[in-house]
């Protein structure tokens, strides 16, 4: 995670209350504590992670998903009738559940799909599993018809239907660290995440993502993100107002096959945090931002 010069105070402002609560005199002492206290490390990750998200965020990527990606993949996967999709840095789950709605509305009968939602924040993953959202959160991009179709009232919140929740699995994952065992994915949503990393870390993440994506798969980045000048293993195809990033050599028709059997959910991986302000340069692998 990068902290722009002059904004180190933001890191200190978020960590200082935790330092005091943990009985540490200052942020530097607290950062030293993170290396040996997993519970405090989890609190620091939650404090530093940016959880900016909404339903069907930016819309165009979801249009590309249904109009440009699904049709060739449905043809290429007709023998298995199953899709594996990764929502990386899933935040509180709006991206993952937006995708489940589109899948339920567009998959032919007899097809299944799984959304593999990962994040560095354990509290965000708990929210994904709970599938409950406030009215304010629902107001951020949720169409009324889909609200009625896929949610029920639960007190002051809205709860995702069991049908959609059953399509989502969660896993604790730090994008800046080596990936644990995961399936091979047909589509990877890695949106609004790379902007928080330095160039070398971006390259490393893209390299490892390329090893977990099908030869005819698709990678979607944020509108201000690109693989250009970072990793020549990718090519780009336009889909409306977005770029679909694809493994070099992928056929536009999406005819290459991946292994037929969907993999089982992987076990949880450990995460370490590095706050990259001047007050927190000493800890190990970088924190993955939440950007979905």
Report the alpha-carbon distance of residue 256 to residue 206 in Å, rounded.
Answer: 21
For 32-79, write each residue's pLDDT tens digit: 887 788 777 766 666 666 566 899 999 999 999 999 999 999 999 999
Report the alpha-carbon distance of residue 185 to residue 115 in Å, rounded.
Answer: 10
- pLDDT score of 26: 81
pLDDT at residue 84 tops 70: yes
Report the alpha-carbon distance of residue 283 to residue 276 in Å, rounded.
Answer: 9
Q: Comparing 49-58, 142-151, 273-282, which segment has the lowest mean pLDDT?
A: 273-282
Give per-residue burial for 245-266: e unless 16+ CB within 10 Å, then b.
bbbeebeeebeeebeeebeeeb
Nearest to 287 by CA among 191, 210, 206, 177: 177
Give per-residue burial for 45-83: e unless 16+ CB within 10 Å, then b.
bbbbbebebbbbbeeebbbbbeebbbebbbebbeeeeeb
Q: Comparing 17-21, 30-34, 223-227, which segment has the lowest mean pLDDT?
A: 17-21
Report the alpha-carbon distance of residue 250 to residue 18 in Å, rounded.
Answer: 48
pLDDT at residue 89 tops 70: yes
* 3-class secondary structure, 274: coil
What are the helix (H) ranges across the chain?
A: 8-21, 27-34, 38-48, 60-64, 70-76, 94-106, 122-130, 135-138, 144-150, 162-165, 199-210
User: What DSSP assignment string belongs to 148-182?
Assistant: HHHEEEETTEEEE-HHHHTTEEEEE--TTS---S-
Residue 112 CB-density burial (10 A; 0-12 exposed, 13-18 middle, 19+ buried) = middle
For 189-224, write each residue's pLDDT tens digit: 999 999 888 999 999 999 999 999 999 999 999 988
In Å, what is the CA distance from 190 to each residue of 44, 227, 230? 23, 12, 15
- φ/ψ of 57, rounded to 5, equals -55, 125
Considering the domain delimited by 60-247, tell me its CATH architecture: 3-Layer(aba) Sandwich (3.40)
User: What DSSP assignment string belongs to 190-205?
Assistant: ETT-GGGS-HHHHHHH
Q: What percent of the chain has pLDDT above 70?
A: 76
- pLDDT score of 23: 82
The whole-model pTM stands at 0.75
- pLDDT score of 97: 98
Q: Comparing 7-11, 209-213, 245-249, 254-258, which segment has the lowest mean pLDDT?
A: 254-258
For 170-195, write each residue's pLDDT tens digit: 999 999 999 999 999 999 999 999 98
pLDDT at residue 282 tops 50: no
């Amino acid at each position: 995670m990068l902290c722009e010069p002059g904004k180190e105070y933001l890191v200190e402002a978020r960590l200082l209350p935790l330092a005091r609560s943990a009985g540490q005199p200052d942020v530097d002492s607290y950062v030293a504590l993170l290396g040996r206290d997993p519970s405090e490390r989890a609190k620091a990750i939650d404090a530093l992670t940016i959880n900016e998200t909404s339903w069907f965020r930016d819309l165009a990527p979801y249009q590309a998903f249904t109009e440009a990606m699904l049709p060739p993949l449905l043809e290429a996967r007709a023998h298995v009738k199953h899709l594996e999709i990764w929502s990386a840095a899933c935040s509180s789950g709006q991206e993952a559940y937006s995708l489940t709605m589109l899948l339920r509305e567009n998959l032919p009968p007899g097809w299944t799909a799984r959304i593999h939602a990962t994040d560095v924040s354990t509290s965000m993953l708990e929210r994904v599993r709970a599938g409950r959202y406030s009215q304010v959160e629902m107001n951020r991009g949720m169409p009324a018809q889909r609200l009625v179709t896929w949610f029920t009232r639960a007190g002051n919140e809205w709860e995702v239907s069991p049908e959609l929740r059953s399509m989502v699995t969660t896993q604790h994952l730090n994008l800046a660290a080596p990936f644990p065992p995961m399936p091979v994915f047909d589509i990877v949503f890695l949106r609004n995440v790379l902007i928080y990393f330095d160039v070398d870390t971006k390259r490393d993440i893209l390299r490892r993502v390329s090893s977990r994506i099908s030869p005819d798969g698709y990678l979607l980045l944020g509108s201000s993100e690109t693989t250009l000048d970072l990793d020549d293993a990718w090519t780009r195809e336009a889909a409306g107002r977005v770029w679909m990033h694809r493994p070099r050599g992928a056929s536009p028709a999406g005819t290459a096959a991946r292994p037929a059997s969907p993999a089982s959910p992987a076990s949880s991986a450990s995460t370490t945090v590095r706050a990259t302000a001047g007050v927190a340069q000493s800890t190990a692998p970088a924190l993955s931002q939440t950007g979905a």
